[in-house]
Amino acid sequence: MDTIPRPPVADPDTPLHAVTFVVIDVETTGGSPATGSLTEVAAARYRGGELLGTYRTFVRPDERIPPFITALTGISDAMVANAPRVGEMLPSLLEFVGAGVLVGHNLRFDVSFLDHALVSTGREPTANLKVDTLALSRRLVRDQVANCKLGTLAAILRLPHQPSHRALDDVLATGDLLHAMLERAGSFGILTLDELLDLPRLIGHPHAGKLRLTIRLPHRCGVYWFTDAAGHVLYVGRGADLQTQARTHLTGPRRGAPGRLLRQLHAVEFRECSDARAAAALEGRLTRQWCPPFNQPPKATRRRARAPVARTSEVSPETSTGPRRETVTA
């Protein structure tokens, strides 16, 4: 079977500039793959903001193209009369896409037709990781535009390419939009592929603005602690990946103790540790020393007063990799 293999993205440090994105768009005879067919497919490969290549082909559908579709897209029966059937087209498309991360505007629509074509010709559906620029734009620029249609965004953001309901034009406009969204995502410290995939959920959180507090946390083992505006330690935690672990608080419950913690959060400090054992030892010592309220059971929280944040000398380097301690404030 011909398949689109899943790209190797297990490493959360995969930087966005090293990711191959494949923007895709399809034109069809209708709104559902159950009743419609592909008429045109286009794609473009990008890496590091550079356009690496494009792909475009007409596809001969199983039925006549409805007049209203011809009026919308400009694609007529005569234009697709000598085009390959979907089964003949797929091998070249699969080769072009390869292991790239699929990107589209309302990508679910395009993938539904692509997966239907793959399955109907005896192939596996797409396994690629996917990024939807519609979801990104709803999180990053929704308050700046009347709606998040591709044409509206292309006009308001003054993208170099404008969509036209033709596959390649729409692909190039979507590629421009992707890079505009990546630039905005960078202001939230979204620098890796894993973070980008999680961005719609992260930015949807009411305290998403505090993502910036975690930008400087490394993807290394260590201990981190949250403080309020007065410098009181609110919470001490540890993780094999400091940045990823600290950001889990920004996707957690919005009510109760997690919500109160985030409302009070003003700064994030951390210490790198040599290994998980050293991190566990440092976390335990700091928790006992500071008695952070959000590390305590509810009753203990009410009994204990919060301790002020420790000075540098109060954090012994004996269980860490060195004297480094960083502070990130709102």
Where do you find CATH 3.30.420.10 in the chain? 16-198
What is the share, in percent, of the chain residues with pLDDT greater than 90?
Answer: 65
Topology of the domain comprising 209-329: GIY-YIG endonuclease (3.40.1440)
Model confidence at 12, pLDDT cuts 50, 70, 90, reads very low
Q: What is the pLDDT of residues 197-242, one digit of tens each?
A: 888 777 665 666 787 888 889 989 999 999 999 999 999 999 999 9
Instruction: Return the pLDDT at 249.
Output: 84
Neighbour-count burial for 79-89, b at 16+ CB within 10 Å, e otherwise:
bbeebeebeeb
Instruction: Return the pLDDT at 139.
Output: 87
Once rounded to an integer, what is the mean pLDDT over residues 104-115? Answer: 97
3 state DSSP class of 233 = strand
Whether residue 250 is predicted with pLDDT greater than 80 in this model: the reply is: no
- Class of CATH domain 16-198: alpha beta
Where do you find CATH 3.40.1440.10 in the chain? 209-329
Q: Are 137 and 157 in contact (CB under 8 A)?
A: no
The total of other beta-carbon atoms located within 10 Å of residue 8's CB is 8
Q: What is the pLDDT of residues 180-197, one digit of tens each?
A: 999 998 887 788 898 898
Give the C-alpha distances (Å, rounded to integers) separating 329 from 100, 193, 225, 250: 37, 25, 12, 16
Nearest in space to 195 (alpha carbons), one of 217, 174, 176 = 217
